[in-house]
Amino acid sequence: MIYSCEKCMKTFSQKSHYDKHLTRKRTCEIQSDKIKELVDKTVEIKINELKKKLNIVEEKIDQQNQSMSIHNFIEVCAGGGGLSCGLIKAGFTPLLLNDNNNDCCKTLKKNHPEANVICGSMDKIDYSSYINKVDLLTGGVPCQSFSQAGLRKGLSDPRGDLMYKFIKILYLIKPKMFMIENVKGLLTHDKGNTIKTIIKALHNCECKNVIKCDCESKSEYNIVYKCIDASKHDVPQKRERVFIVGTIKTTKKQFEYPIELSSKKVLKHVLYNVPQSNGAKYNETKIKLFKMIPQGGCWINLPENLQREYLGNSYNSGGGRRGILHRLSMEKPSLTLLCTPSQKQTERCHPLEERPLTIREYARIQTFDDSYEFLGSIASQYKQIGNAVPVELARQMGIALLKTLEV
């Protein structure tokens, strides 16, 4: 046991020596300077220890950021840039962004001046310099032919051929991962045979038998797919999209989709202090009808005579048709934003006012930053935003992809 004098700070290993010290004739002096020096030294040691720990943490963060920043991607059919914007936020660096629409390319160049933006058909690009040098090949391959709201011609539609062009590019450049975004209807098209055909093609299989085939075991990629609802990933919009993800088999870690969040963002969380912007308009007749429709309501909230008058022959056709004369609710996520907010089947009326959502309101719901600019006509801007992958969902997917690549 160690005995210490509180006045002079001397220490003794034996109690007899300590007692003798206390009873000596000359009282010890209070050594305040010595105490201060000891305290200062102790504090200095603790501070240095904390600094070392902080430096270690900062080094790990720098290493992680450096690791993330070197991962690159190529995106074809990039549209207005929702997917690329989210991937960049996650830590990816774009090597090449491509679309065949001039307005989309202008938007991409405006917002990503550091990226190589090529306008034109994806199969006309020279990819030779990218072979075995790409971490991620991705794209929102046009999905109109698979949409539940369209004709659903699928792979027989000329646009469906773009899927095969994507696959050809995939096996040319051989990226570490690939990701394809498409609509929910892809999973049910042709009783599920279309998705099976696409997966077989992604495995580089030419067998015509859709059901019995061992192409998966011979493929260079492990492939998974899932339908994801953006409203479960911090996006104030119910938007269901299919994400097909392939990981080259030499990668040690298996890809895992982002975890769904328990809470949901709703429109009141984003429709405030929105920058002024242009937008579509309603005619006076439609404005009068919307005055009778509450938040979250639609044509069914009108008197029956007005329902019949507005819907015409489709009144007796059956089906939900809740997108007709639909007013959004501040307390709920938005319905899926489409290419226009004001046509009869796609109306997205502002929750509090009798008007369509503006361009910047559309962009807010799609989780674009207010600084992100869209170029082209008003109709073109609505289409670019309406076709985009929500930026926040793309960011979360990007983080999940990086976790797989960084092993």
**Average pLDDT of adjacent 10-residue blocks, the chain of 407 residues:** 72 77 70 62 76 70 54 97 98 96 98 96 95 96 52 49 89 96 88 86 75 76 96 97 95 94 95 96 95 95 92 75 90 94 86 97 98 97 97 98 90
Q: Compute the C-alpha angle 237/343/103, nearest 5°.
A: 75
Q: Provide the residue range defining the domain that includes 190.
A: 70-266+390-405
Query: Exposure of 94 by Cβ count < 10 A (0-12 exposed, 13-18 middle, 19+ buried)?
Result: buried
Interatomic CA distance for residues 215 and 96, integer angstroms: 30
What DSSP designation does 31 have? -
Interatomic CA distance for residues 273 and 276, integer angstroms: 9
Q: List the catalytic residue out of 85, 104, 143, 349.
A: 143
203 and 170 share a domain?
yes
Which amino acid makes up residue 272?
Answer: Y
253 and 399 share a domain?
yes
For residue 359, the surrounding DSSP H or E stretch is helix 359-365
* Residue the block writes with tokens 């469906």: 160
245 and 344 share a domain?
no
Nearest to 225 by CA among 263, 262, 183, 261: 183
Interatomic CA distance for residues 304 and 170, integer angstroms: 54
* Residue the block writes with tokens 């093609």: 201
48 and 135 share a domain?
no
60 and 85 share a domain?
no
pLDDT at 146: 45
pLDDT at 154: 45
Cα 34 to its chain centre, rounded Å, is: 60
Contact (CB, 8 A) for 200 and 215: yes
pLDDT in tens, 245-260: 999 999 889 999 999 9
36 and 78 share a domain?
no
The number of distinct structural domains making up the chain is 3
358 and 242 share a domain?
no
Interatomic CA distance for residues 263 and 10, integer angstroms: 61
Strands 11-12 and 3-4: antiparallel
* Residue the block writes with tokens 């004001």: 342
Contact (CB, 8 A) for 82 and 337: no
The backbone torsions φ and ψ at residue 327, rounded to the nearest 5 degrees and listed phi first, read -100, 125
Nearest to 174 by CA among 107, 208, 221: 221
Structure tokens, 134: 């790409």
Where among 21, 47, 65 does a domain terminate? Answer: 65
Where among 14, 34, 65 does a domain terminate? Answer: 65
247 and 343 share a domain?
no
Q: What is the pTM of this model?
A: 0.79
Interatomic CA distance for residues 271 and 266, integer angstroms: 9
280 and 336 share a domain?
yes
Structure tokens, 99: 């679309």
For 243, half-sphere exposure in the C-beta direction (CA atoms, 13 angstrom radius) is: 26
The SS3 call for residue 143 is: coil
Nearest to 374 by CA among 277, 303, 248, 292: 277
Strands 136-139 and 221-229: unpaired
126 and 178 share a domain?
yes
Where among 40, 65, 90 does a domain terminate? Answer: 65
The SS3 call for residue 202 is: helix
12 and 143 share a domain?
no
- CATH code, domain carrying 338: 3.90.120.10
214 and 320 share a domain?
no
Total residues belonging to the chain: 407
* 143 in catalytic set: yes
